[in-house]
Amino acid sequence: MLDWNDIRTFLSVAREGSTLAASRKLNINQTTVGRRMHALETALGLTLFERDTRGYALTAHGSALFEVAAGMEGAADKVLTRADHLKRTSDGIIRVTAAHSSMTHWVLPLISEFRKHNPNTHFETNASEQYVSLESGEADIAIRASDKIEGDTLIVRKLPPVRWGVYCSKAYLAANGMPRSIDELIHHPVLSLP
């Protein structure tokens, strides 16, 4: 039976080009990387790499197995993501991400109302402007301002439109005038609130 750690190491050596670079990427000893490559080649009865002073290059056999091994990696990631989701579900935790203003004005009041009817459900909120990946399990729900969301495993619902406005002080208006189009805003300092 194949050891997943050997396959994972094989993928790292193939991508990084050497056992040293793979050991750094995987945060394990270089000797362990070499031992795992030897164990995998022995188990398969194939030579997967050409070894020389420049590093490791995939043989024809190694290239033929690389895509299948990458598929195993994707499946292993999905297992971990699903297990994490199941754990959070059994613990009653839902992770929600949204921009700070969206979180404050819309999401938190909705969470409060939801918890009145579902007191055993807990929420972890992330009011960050940084991208959070739903597909890799970094959050369960995301509120995003976007016209197009991509992802094979995502369920997307469009919320009602939000009206945006441009505001300034009377003093700024008197000194700089009012922009009449989006193109004219380029000549004005703008602070954008998401």
| Residue ranges per structural domain of the chain | 4-86
Q: What is the pTM of this model?
A: 0.48
Token readout for 155 is 């369920």
23-37, 112-126, 172-186: which is most confident: 23-37
The CA-to-CA distance between both ends of the chain, in Å, stands at 52
Per-residue pLDDT of 89-105, as tens digits, reads: 655 788 888 888 888 88
Kindly report the backbone phi and psi dihedral angles of residue 193, in degrees, each rounded to the nearest multiple of 5, phi listed first.
-110, 120
d(CA 89, CA 85): 6
User: Between the CA of residue 38 and those of 52, 72, 194, what are the distances in Å?
Assistant: 15, 19, 53
Of the pLDDT bands very low, low, confident and very high (cuts 50, 70, 90), residue 56 is very high
Percent of the chain with pLDDT over 70: 93
Averaged pLDDT for residues 45-72: 93
Buried b (16+ CB within 10 A) or exposed e, 79-99: eebeeeeeebeeeeebbbbbb
Tell me: pLDDT of 194 over 60.
Answer: no
pLDDT at 77: 84
Of the pLDDT bands very low, low, confident and very high (cuts 50, 70, 90), residue 9 is very high
Q: Is 3.40.50.300 the CATH number for 4-86? A: no
Averaged pLDDT for residues 99-116: 87
Tell me: pLDDT of 48 over 80.
Answer: yes
Q: Of the candidates 71, 72, 49, 51, which has an alpha carbon nearest to the alpha carbon of residue 2? A: 72
Of the pLDDT bands very low, low, confident and very high (cuts 50, 70, 90), residue 181 is confident
